[in-house]
Chain A
């Protein structure tokens, strides 16, 4: 199903809602994720591991945001899937977000990425209704966000989700400390208490000694640290980032990204991260939703996006990504042949191809991909070179096959996170074709892999 082809799009979209009710009524962990449109997959494994009882932090279904006169008539109408220019010409409306569905799970960094104008910033603002969505549903911890009254919504914004903005959004007339304490002040926290909390945050983001400066006296990177600290100060369940680092110099951006990685590692807070920078998305994201013209073109792990682009648009997007840095040996390996399973350097399935290249180059022979003492497969010069050269790319898969690919991709993402997946690994080792190239794996549909996931 090619999203470039407008004729096919309605079919895809109509398929998705049909799935939604059934899955929502089923309410079984790990299944809700599949309720998204065929392209969009969520890792059942992580859902299962993170949420044996907890529903996703955010559960977005068929979300639309249309700007313009009488916007609410657009979703579901025949015009809904026209190209942007044509839609504007015919109706005067602009659809910023078109029928988007996804789940954000506890503790993950969910990256929404796309070029400017793809609707990603609108999407993240819809999550806390800074922009009122036109239609669709948003659940937060199972609670309907769109049904919230003013007080409840204010409560959500005060305590549960905090946002970091592209241009920082700091109050210029307040000191750094008071800016950080601002969220607490709004909640009505007493001065001494909020100052103490803000001082903690100052230290946490590395701004000690600058408490009494004004935002105007700080560099861009420091200002964004203040923005980050302000969001952290209210101890939110979710952090929302709207292109937080795109206004910064490359080196500072790198620093800040590492800061976010560190924060996520230390605290495990759920994050929704908007960016237009692919390398940033790949660096930070547990999963990436790639948006184009208001729709999600592909949703998957960084490895899925780079290794199995859903269409030409995504392929174009990831063309210049150093594949060996992102793809893992699991994608590169082939079945072990006579005796290979018993010798050679061992690699974890999650090791990158770059690491494998080093191991293979040192040993001179193929390396084994080992998981919990079992050999899943081997990688040799040829396999690794194919990945680097991009020859492992599968021929353009048919829609059905792609669904499978995404399914398996999702499972692999899960595998990366949870080490326990014997059955799945087993199945995978069996599937591993003779060729090095990892074709869109058919194994996603096999019972064995599902067991692996739920195990």
Chain B
């Protein structure tokens, strides 16, 4: 009993209970209500609509737009168009050859082959032009992200004070779903390429900044001291020592930035980015799985090529050069240029006769699936049945329960969870974020989204932990899983929606399914790594005492891997939320739907409020599950 009282968790709960005993009767007496009391909401719709109207009215006249945003917007449009034209001018042979040569030069022959095959496939699927559009947008967005992120990282890496300010901001930005950034950008820049590029930059720059700062700060102190002892000036120190020492982190930052930029560039097609994402978006909204797949496959291929090339370039840093000798010098580039020039006369875009139409056969297959697998399969039911059961037995009760839960109880639960796992600071942030959702007046929609998140996270964790434990215990399982996880982790969130629509139709269940599939790889990875890193001596000691494998797992491995497991939960929640929000595209409803509605109807006020609520929900979920240590997003 005494031990129980001494236990820190119990003490925290006791404090909360006392607080609740005082505050709850007060709150309940004043604002008794299942959902957030309307007396406590602030309606932002009108002021936001005013702002929106003002911006629309003044976009062409106000100096702020004419001389600042206007220039930014024009510069972005020009550069995207420029890159696009260059890509078209290179022709499909030129682009493929250039991509292959670059991959060969920085990452080796295998990656070069992947690259060549991937670009050819993009053409084969009849998606050459959209692929080039996406690539052009990506090139500009990535260049901007790396420049801005690198500069921020440089400041953060060299100045302690700047780092202390930057770090929490960057950390928070990394956990927010992509949808949250769309509306504010649209508000200022309108729908179109500039907005899409900037949304991508905002989403993709933080990892670069974060990793640059961490890399610069993590440099071996003695090496820097040695450099000082030889009398290096500040600039010499930065260029000859600090930056090269941070090379690994810088390349990892570039890799992550490119992957996140691709992910966002696809989503940003909703605000006028065009390209592959737009094709998927259009196809999904008419539930044309075949067309969606035809555009989705190039996205995945692009992701794989970009990831392999940049990741391998990072992994090989400092090692022996990988390219054949003729590629290393200028000669290689001369050869490449000659190759390109030779092909200029030929057809520049992929020849039409070489394309393969996959939309129709895929749709036929989906139709067949709809007929045969959706329901009525003996004994196991059908996919649509499962989705229906999941919706009616899990999602509905959960949503109704959350919406019916007294608002103060929700706050209390969040506070208790966050405090138990983290510190009072994270608990306070989480509670304030949740309260802000209520104040914004989107309590019910948020609870809807939250119910999907909770259900999906629960499933993700059950499957993820089980698989993770299996992979940690058996090298064979891990070997089998690794390539699968590698591919899954590189895919942008958007493409996960395509197969789930094919399997489960539209609705909340498919959205949750996509979220589960998206979050699983990270959870499995972190769990496996956590269990593997458990001190071998401790396990050996347990084994020497005669513990069974089950006992070893329960009594040694799991307790020691607790920080990793908490991190897995945190990552799972953040990743699930990101896809659940996007899931509104396939009928997920909730906050994401509000954003879409706002975009579709030009009612930015609604969308902005929903976007703010998404930020709050993301913040709340992250803080509730925040363990002490953190790691970069997505298995970094």
Cβ contact within 8 Å between B318 and A183: no
Given contacts A171-B223, A173-B247, contact A214 B231 (CB under 8 A): no
Cβ-based interface call for A110 (8 A):
no
Q: Which of B220, B231, B247, B318 contacts A157 (CB 8 A)?
A: B231
With a cutoff of 8 Å between Cβ atoms, the chain A residues found around residue B474 in the complex are: none
**Alpha-carbon distance A234/B233, docked complex (angstroms):** 16
With a cutoff of 8 Å between Cβ atoms, the chain A residues found around residue B236 in the complex are: 186
**Alpha-carbon distance A232/B227, docked complex (angstroms):** 15
Shortest Cβ gap from B237 to chain A (Å) = 9
**Alpha-carbon distance A165/B223, docked complex (angstroms):** 9
Cβ contact within 8 Å between B245 and A171: yes
Q: Which residues of A contact B (CB under 8 A)?
A: 125, 128, 130, 153-159, 161-163, 165-174, 182-183, 185-187, 214, 216, 227, 230, 234, 240
With a cutoff of 8 Å between Cβ atoms, the chain A residues found around residue B222 in the complex are: 165-169
Cβ contact within 8 Å between A169 and B240: no
Cβ contact within 8 Å between B244 and A173: yes
Given contacts A182-B240, A185-B240, contact A169 B232 (CB under 8 A): no
**Alpha-carbon distance A155/B230, docked complex (angstroms):** 9
**Interface size of B in residues (CB-CB distance below 8 Å):** 20
Q: Which of A173, A182, A230 contacts B245 (CB 8 A)?
A: A173
Cβ-based interface call for B241 (8 A):
yes
B415-459 interface code vs A (CB 8 A; 1 in, 0 out): 000000000000000000000000000000000000000000000
**Alpha-carbon distance A153/B233, docked complex (angstroms):** 11
Cβ contact within 8 Å between A156 and B231: yes
Q: Which of B223, B227, B230, B318 contacts A162 (CB 8 A)?
A: B230
With a cutoff of 8 Å between Cβ atoms, the chain B residues found around residue A172 in the complex are: 223, 245, 318
Cβ contact within 8 Å between A157 and B229: yes
With a cutoff of 8 Å between Cβ atoms, the chain A residues found around residue B229 in the complex are: 128, 130, 157, 161-163, 165, 240
With a cutoff of 8 Å between Cβ atoms, the chain B residues found around residue A165 in the complex are: 222, 225-226, 229
A-B contact pairs, 24 of them (CB 8 A): A125-B225, A128-B229, A130-B225, A157-B228, A157-B229, A159-B231, A161-B229, A162-B229, A165-B222, A165-B225, A167-B220, A169-B220, A169-B223, A169-B225, A170-B226, A171-B240, A171-B244, A172-B245, A172-B318, A173-B245, A216-B318, A230-B226, A230-B230, A240-B229
With a cutoff of 8 Å between Cβ atoms, the chain B residues found around residue A155 in the complex are: 231
Given contact pairs A156-B231, A173-B247, a sample of 11 additional A-B residue pairs in the complex whose CB atoms are under 8 Å apart: A154-B231, A157-B229, A158-B230, A158-B231, A161-B229, A165-B229, A168-B222, A170-B223, A171-B244, A173-B317, A186-B227
Q: Which of B231, B241, B317 contacts A171 (CB 8 A)?
A: B241
Nearest A residue (CB) for B233: A154
Shortest Cβ gap from A220 to chain B (Å) = 14
Shortest Cβ gap from A181 to chain B (Å) = 11
**Alpha-carbon distance A162/B230, docked complex (angstroms):** 6
Residues B151-188 near A (CB distance < 8 A): none
Given contacts A170-B223, A171-B240, contact A186 B245 (CB under 8 A): no
Q: Which residues of B contact A (CB under 8 A)?
A: 220, 222-223, 225-233, 236, 240-241, 244-245, 247, 317-318
**Alpha-carbon distance A230/B229, docked complex (angstroms):** 11
Question: Which of B223, B226, B227 gathers most chain A CB within 10 Å?
Answer: B226
**Alpha-carbon distance A135/B238, docked complex (angstroms):** 30
With a cutoff of 8 Å between Cβ atoms, the chain B residues found around residue A227 in the complex are: 226
Cβ contact within 8 Å between B244 and A186: no
Nearest B residue (CB) for A150: B233
Nearest B residue (CB) for A169: B226
With a cutoff of 8 Å between Cβ atoms, the chain A residues found around residue B223 in the complex are: 169-172
Cβ contact within 8 Å between B230 and A130: no
With a cutoff of 8 Å between Cβ atoms, the chain B residues found around residue A171 in the complex are: 223, 227, 240-241, 244-245
**Alpha-carbon distance A161/B318, docked complex (angstroms):** 30
Nearest B residue (CB) for A151: B233
Cβ contact within 8 Å between B244 and A234: no
With a cutoff of 8 Å between Cβ atoms, the chain A residues found around residue B241 in the complex are: 171
Top 5 closest A-B pairs, CB basis?
A169-B226, A158-B231, A157-B231, A163-B229, A183-B230
Shortest Cβ gap from B239 to chain A (Å) = 11
Given contacts A171-B244, A171-B245, A214-B318, contact A186 B230 (CB under 8 A): yes
With a cutoff of 8 Å between Cβ atoms, the chain B residues found around residue A214 in the complex are: 318
Cβ contact within 8 Å between B228 and A130: yes
**Alpha-carbon distance A173/B247, docked complex (angstroms):** 9
**Alpha-carbon distance A99/B241, docked complex (angstroms):** 35
**Alpha-carbon distance A207/B220, docked complex (angstroms):** 24
Given contacts A171-B245, A186-B236, contact A234 B318 (CB under 8 A): no
With a cutoff of 8 Å between Cβ atoms, the chain B residues found around residue A161 in the complex are: 229
Shortest Cβ gap from B272 to chain A (Å) = 43
Shortest Cβ gap from B249 to chain A (Å) = 13
With a cutoff of 8 Å between Cβ atoms, the chain B residues found around residue A182 in the complex are: 227, 230, 240
Shortest Cβ gap from A158 to chain B (Å) = 3
**Alpha-carbon distance A156/B230, docked complex (angstroms):** 9
Question: Which of A154, A157, A173, A174 gathers most chain B CB within 10 Å?
Answer: A173
Shortest Cβ gap from A446 to chain B (Å) = 45
With a cutoff of 8 Å between Cβ atoms, the chain A residues found around residue B232 in the complex are: 186
Question: Which of B228, B231, B247 gathers most chain A CB within 10 Å?
Answer: B231
**Alpha-carbon distance A348/B88, docked complex (angstroms):** 90
**Alpha-carbon distance A240/B229, docked complex (angstroms):** 10
Nearest B residue (CB) for A158: B231
With a cutoff of 8 Å between Cβ atoms, the chain A residues found around residue B318 in the complex are: 172-173, 214, 216
Shortest Cβ gap from A31 to chain B (Å) = 32
With a cutoff of 8 Å between Cβ atoms, the chain B residues found around residue A128 in the complex are: 229
**Alpha-carbon distance A187/B240, docked complex (angstroms):** 13
Cβ contact within 8 Å between B231 and A187: yes
**Alpha-carbon distance A158/B244, docked complex (angstroms):** 21
Nearest A residue (CB) for B223: A169
Shortest Cβ gap from A404 to chain B (Å) = 40
Shortest Cβ gap from A49 to chain B (Å) = 30
With a cutoff of 8 Å between Cβ atoms, the chain A residues found around residue B226 in the complex are: 163, 165, 168-170, 227, 230
**Alpha-carbon distance A372/B229, docked complex (angstroms):** 46
**Alpha-carbon distance A185/B232, docked complex (angstroms):** 9
With a cutoff of 8 Å between Cβ atoms, the chain B residues found around residue A230 in the complex are: 226, 230
Nearest A residue (CB) for B244: A173
**Alpha-carbon distance A417/B221, docked complex (angstroms):** 40
